[in-house]
Amino acid sequence: MEYTVVDGEDRGDLVLYALSTCRWCNLTKELLQSLNVKFRYIYADLLQPDELDQILIEVERFNPAGSFPTLVINGKDVIIGYKEKEIRKVLG
Amino acid sequence: MKIDEPSIEEIDALEEVLENEASSHGYSLSPDREAVRALVKGVIVNTRRYGYPSCPCRLSTGKKEDDLDIICPCDYRDADVIAYGACYCSLYVSEAVKSGREEIQPIPERRPPRTARAKKAAAVAGGFSLPVLRCKVCGYLCARENPPEKCPICGVSKERFERFA
């Protein structure tokens, strides 16, 4: 699975599941960049069907609605949607 | 899957169409012009990819019959505009948000998860001489055998109707 890694301060494993067309996803990505934290992201809408299935199962494990953006922190905590305050609180 | 970037002219054109449709049907587009243009661009990209203008903030399946509820304007728009001041994407907003009196609240996903999305059989109530059909986008009701080609109120296609009674 091809994640794009964005360099920054290491604050644990931050994984952003996103859609390339989604404005909230884009805002979340920009916010993480502005916070200068290291994270990796993947655009679900650009995946091949078999990869997509795998990613959706992953996303739904943390977010049963299967919506985007879903930000998973260290494989346990999750922030669903562009929740600026929450993201700043956790990573700011 | 590489899709050509929509041009400025294409975005301008669709933005104008949506703006006109919204204002003539009692809806408002977001006052955040940049947001509107980003979302319009996403709608154009999805139209090219899938053949229908599905919601840019949701994952499309590529099968139109499975995504009818998220073709923009989606079935969930009105309820989210009322509850959160904006549709899931924030393309459409309430009057209060448009005029700056209120701010958009974070909008949780209202669409059922994919496992629960199995088609609901329309409940059939008795007592009418004709089926009552409902536009799932704007709520328009009509009593006839088949839905109109296009909703006369909001203009969506006939596949967006459900049997209501």
Interface contact flag, A22 B60, Cβ < 8 Å: no
What would the pLDDT profile of A49-92 be if each residue is shown by its tens digit? Answer: 999 999 999 999 999 999 999 999 999 999 999 999 999 999 98
Cα Rg for chain B, rounded, in angstroms? Answer: 17
Distance to chain B for A38, nearest Cα, Å = 24
DSSP output for B25-89: TT-EE-S-HHHHHHHHHHHHHHHHHHSS-B-TTS---S-HHHHGGGBSSPTTHHHHHHHHSB-TT
User: According to the model, what pLDDT value does residue A50 have?
Assistant: 94
Higher pLDDT, B126 or A9: A9
Please count the residue pairs, one from chain A and one from chain B, whose beta carbons lie less than 8 angstroms apart: 58
Interface contact flag, A68 B56, Cβ < 8 Å: no
* Three-state helix/strand/coil letters over chain A: CCCEEECCECCCCEEEEECCCCHHHHHHHHHHHHCCECEEEEEHHHCCHHHHHHHHHHHHHHCCCCCCCEEEECCCEEEECCCHHHHHHHHC
Q: What is the ipTM of this complex?
A: 0.94
Residue at token pair 């088609």? B119
Distance to chain B for A73, nearest Cα, Å = 19
- The Cα-based distances of B1 to A45, A46, B43, B49, B50 in angstroms read 9, 6, 16, 8, 11
Closest CA to A45 of B2, B12, B51, B156: B2
Higher pLDDT, B25 or A33: A33
Interface contact flag, A81 B42, Cβ < 8 Å: no
Flag whether residue B42 sits within 8 Å of chain A, measured between CB atoms: yes
User: According to the model, what pLDDT value does residue B106 have?
Assistant: 85
User: According to the model, what pLDDT value does residue B121 have?
Assistant: 43
- The Cα-based distances of B77 to B69, B74, B111, B127, B137 in angstroms read 10, 6, 10, 31, 7
The rounded percent of chain A whose pLDDT value lies above 90 is 97
Interface contact flag, A82 B106, Cβ < 8 Å: yes
User: According to the model, what pLDDT value does residue B105 have?
Assistant: 82
A4 contacts: CB under 8 Å, gap ≥ 6: A40, A41, A42
Q: What is the pLDDT along chain B (165 residues), one digit of tens a residue?
A: 567 799 999 999 999 999 999 998 889 999 999 999 999 999 999 999 999 999 999 999 999 999 999 999 999 999 999 999 999 999 999 999 999 999 998 899 999 998 888 655 444 456 788 899 999 999 999 998 889 988 999 999 999 999 999
Mean pLDDT, chain A, rounded, equals 96
Whole-model pTM above 0.95? no
* Overall average pLDDT of the A18-47 stretch: 97
User: According to the model, what pLDDT value does residue A56 have?
Assistant: 96
Element (H, E) at B162: strand B161-163
Interface contact flag, B45 A19, Cβ < 8 Å: no
- The Cα-based distances of A6 to A27, A43, B29, B95 in angstroms read 15, 14, 33, 39
Residue at token pair 């080609």? B149
| Distance between CA atoms of residues A42 and A19, nearest Å | 8
